[in-house]
């Protein structure tokens, strides 16, 4: 992308740049015109670094057939609209129109006096801050080396030449060794090579896209798209940190759509890459907790923290899913035996808030209840697999420099294609979109699923052997375990949808993992004296 940005500056030097990934297409020909309404606005356009469009699934697939579509709808129709009222939406990596100056590292224009504050959009600050303080923080945020414009009447010719050479060297360190490209960066609009012949212009274009051009420059660090993990979030974060503001455009007809829906295995691999990249930003130099200085508004910073810290939620999620199996297999419970009215009131209040938040999400995003439930099941599978692996991988990489790669290659167990009958081809295609192929990321969710299923079977057997009175203490435990199994039942059907592609190795590793934990629990309990079980505990192990 940075190479394309440079060569376009040499050839045309358009003021605005459209970024669209290879797996998306233009669905609305008038979308760019609507983006220009933001970028070319005489007031707000001077402060706008990019205009982000929502990314929609293919038109042929409804949200009910796209497990991840409803969660994307909640993000684009609720979260991004809320951010549009602060400092603007985040950059999601595609479907975006950029201001070229913002990509180069320039700061937005700063008002010179209090009267010019009226031309600034979103004139209020979070938590009661003043506009003058915000403008002072925006000053000197540009990473582009600018020439000192102070009066140098007493400066000698040699000193002035040295100062200009020093400034030119700083520009080359920032933009690279291309005089034509540096000139285009400071030109307001229009090509900077009007008087250059075609042959030298072609050589200059080849020069700026060469592999060695970015060596010893700030490209990928402060200029252009940021390299490394989660480049989209980091690029937008650096722009907002310099004081720029973004805009969110939601036309009636979706501007961009993706070509085709992904299979569950592809979703798992993509979620693993995104979660690892998010942890890389959270534990790196672009961490939104402390990076960026004080020009970013607190709520905008909190939004960026939420964008990169979401893999951490996989830890309590996995613990909760495992606790339901532990409670059934060990006879213990996460709630105390004597729950007073106050604790019960807090529990009811918590459940009511969860239900209310779900109802508001369904209302604001327009997602059906069935599509929301499919997205929740996929969220739990990804949280206990890709998210959990990303937390450990990112932590080890940041602390020790060790890169522990988790396999996401689903072709390892792909069997050779056999000749199929014509009437079976459609069924095989449908099965391939629902099946889950082998990857070692499947071990944690399969372990959680098998543990809960084993706990349910053991608890039901215990209740049938000990009569009606034993079902009372088992009731809530079975409810928690059944809730986890209900989330993972679609994942189980995906594992077993194609018998010849069933990830037997993942199941064996999961059974071995559960067996080792069970043996460790039994051996650990032998070191403690016998305890008197309470009325709500059943001695299973």
The dihedral over CA atoms of 508, 512, 514, 516, expressed in degrees to the nearest 10, equals 180
Where is the domain boundary, 261, 279, 301? 261
Are residue 328 and residue 249 in the same domain, yes or no? no
On whether residue 384 sits in a domain, the answer given is yes
The answer to whether 268 touches 495, Cβ cutoff 8 Å, is: no
Beta carbons within 8 Å of 144's beta carbon, 6+ residues apart: 104, 105, 106, 171, 174, 185
Are residue 194 and residue 137 in the same domain, yes or no? yes
Are residue 138 and residue 221 in the same domain, yes or no? yes
Nearest CA to 387 out of 539, 275, 301 is that of 275
Are residue 251 and residue 384 in the same domain, yes or no? no
How far is residue 22's CA from residue 40's CA, in Å, rounded to a whole number?
Answer: 27
On whether residue 100 sits in a domain, the answer given is yes
Are residue 327 and residue 208 in the same domain, yes or no? no
pLDDT at 143: 64
The CATH number that applies at residue 242 is 3.90.550
Question: With b meaning 16 or more CB within 10 Å and e meaning fewer, what string describes 145-178?
Answer: beeeeeeeeeeeeeeeeeeeeeeeeebbebbbbb
On whether residue 266 sits in a domain, the answer given is no
On whether residue 115 sits in a domain, the answer given is yes
pLDDT at 153: 52
Are residue 379 and residue 453 in the same domain, yes or no? yes
The answer to whether 443 touches 513, Cβ cutoff 8 Å, is: yes
pLDDT at 263: 67
How far is residue 248's CA from residue 250's CA, in Å, rounded to a whole number?
Answer: 7
pLDDT at 110: 66
Are residue 211 and residue 326 in the same domain, yes or no? no
pLDDT at 1: 87
pLDDT at 517: 64
Which pLDDT tens digits describe the chain residue by residue (541 residues)? 889 999 998 888 888 999 998 888 899 888 999 999 999 988 888 889 999 999 888 776 544 455 555 667 888 888 899 888 889 999 988 899 999 999 998 888 765 544 444 445 454 344 444 444 444 444 445 666 665 544 455 556 566 667 667 777 888 888 888 888 888 888 866 555 555 677 788 888 899 998 888 888 888 888 889 887 677 888 989 899 888 999 999 998 999 988 766 666 677 777 888 888 888 888 888 888 888 776 788 899 999 998 889 899 999 999 988 888 888 877 777 766 676 788 888 889 999 999 999 898 888 888 888 888 888 888 888 888 888 888 888 888 878 777 666 554 443 333 333 444 444 444 444 444 444 555 677 788 888 888 888 888 888 887 777 767 767 777 778 888 889 989 988 877 777 765 555 556 666 666 676 666 666 655 555 545 555 455 445 545 4
Domain that holds residue 182: 2-143+176-261
Where is the domain boundary, 261, 276, 292? 261
pLDDT at 509: 63
Domain count, the chain: 2
The dihedral over CA atoms of 182, 188, 191, 195, expressed in degrees to the nearest 10, equals -80
Are residue 205 and residue 113 in the same domain, yes or no? yes
pLDDT at 395: 84
Are residue 129 and residue 201 in the same domain, yes or no? yes
On whether residue 418 sits in a domain, the answer given is no
On whether residue 163 sits in a domain, the answer given is no
Where is the domain boundary, 233, 261, 289? 261
Are residue 187 and residue 322 in the same domain, yes or no? no
Question: With b meaning 16 or more CB within 10 Å and e meaning fewer, what string describes 347-367?
Answer: eeeeeeeeeeeeeebbeebeb
How far is residue 308's CA from residue 288's CA, in Å, rounded to a whole number?
Answer: 8
Are residue 485 and residue 378 in the same domain, yes or no? yes
C-alpha gyration radius of the chain:
29
DSSP, residue by residue, 1-41: -HHHHHHHHHHT--SEEEE--TTEEE--TTHHHHHHHHHT-
On whether residue 389 sits in a domain, the answer given is yes
pLDDT at 275: 86
Are residue 232 and residue 319 in the same domain, yes or no? no
On whether residue 357 sits in a domain, the answer given is no
pLDDT at 154: 58
């Amino acid at each position: 992308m940075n190479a394309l940005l440079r060569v376009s500056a040499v050839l045309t030097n358009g003021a605005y740049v459209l970024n669209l990934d290879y797996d998306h297409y233009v669905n609305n020909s008038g979308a760019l015109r609507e983006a220009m309404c933001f970028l070319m606005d005489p007031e707000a356009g001077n402060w706008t670094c990019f205009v982000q469009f929502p990314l929609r699934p293919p038109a042929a697939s409804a949200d009910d057939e796209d497990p991840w579509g409803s969660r994307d709808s909640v993000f684009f129709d609720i979260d991004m609209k809320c951010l549009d009222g602060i400092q603007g939406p985040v950059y999601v990596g595609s479907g975006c129109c950029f201001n070229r100056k913002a990509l180069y590292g320039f700061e937005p224009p700063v008002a010179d006096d209090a009267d010019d504050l009226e031309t600034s959009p979103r004139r209020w600050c979070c938590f009661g801050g003043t506009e003058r303080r915000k403008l002072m923080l925006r000053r000197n945020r540009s990473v582009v080396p600018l020439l000192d414009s102070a009066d140098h009447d007493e400066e000698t010719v040699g000193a002035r030449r040295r100062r200009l050479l020093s400034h030119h060297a700083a520009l080359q360190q920032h933009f690279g060794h291309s005089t034509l490209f540096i000139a285009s960066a400071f030109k307001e609009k229009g090509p900077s090579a009007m008087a250059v012949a075609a042959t030298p212009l072609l050589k200059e274009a080849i020069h700026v896209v060469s592999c060695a051009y970015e060596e010893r420059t700030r490209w990928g660090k402060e200029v252009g798209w940021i390299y490394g993990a989660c480049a989209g979030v980091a690029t937008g974060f650096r722009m907002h940190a310099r004081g720029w503001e973004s805009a969110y455009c939601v036309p009636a007809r979706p501007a961009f759509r993706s070509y085709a829906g992904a299979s569950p295995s592809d979703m798992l691999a993509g979620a693993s890459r995104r979660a690892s990249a998010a942890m890389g930003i959270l534990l790196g130099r672009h961490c939104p907790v402390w990076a960026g200085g004080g020009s970013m508004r607190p709520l905008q910073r909190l939004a960026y923290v939420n964008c990169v810290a979401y893999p951490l939620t996989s830890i309590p999620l996995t613990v909760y899913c495992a606790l339901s199996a532990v409670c059934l297999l060990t006879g213990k419970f996460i709630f105390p035996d004597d729950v007073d009215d106050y604790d019960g009131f807090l529990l009811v209040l918590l459940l009511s808030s969860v239900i209310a938040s779900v109802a508001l999400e369904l209302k604001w995003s327009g997602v059906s209840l069935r599509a929301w439930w499919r997205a929740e099941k996929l969220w739990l599978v990804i949280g206990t697999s890709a998210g959990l692996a990303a937390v450990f991988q990112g932590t080890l990489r940041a602390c020790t420099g060790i890169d522990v790669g988790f396999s996401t290659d689903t072709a390892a167990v792909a069997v050779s294609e056999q000749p199929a009958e014509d009437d079976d081809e459609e069924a095989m295609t449908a099965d391939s979109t629902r099946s889950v192929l082998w990857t070692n990321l499947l071990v944690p969710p399969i372990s959680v699923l098998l543990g809960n299923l084993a706990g349910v079977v053991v608890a039901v057997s215990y209740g049938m052997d000990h009569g009606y009175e034993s079902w009372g203490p088992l009731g809530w435990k079975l409810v928690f375990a059944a809730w986890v199994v209900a989330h993972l039942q679609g994942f189980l059907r995906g594992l077993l949808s194609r018998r010849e592609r069933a990830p037997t190795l993942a199941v064996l590793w999961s059974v071995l993992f559960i067996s080792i934990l069970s043996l460790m629990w039994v051996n650990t309990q032998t070191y403690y004296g016998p305890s008197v079980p309470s009325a709500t505990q059943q001695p299973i192990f």
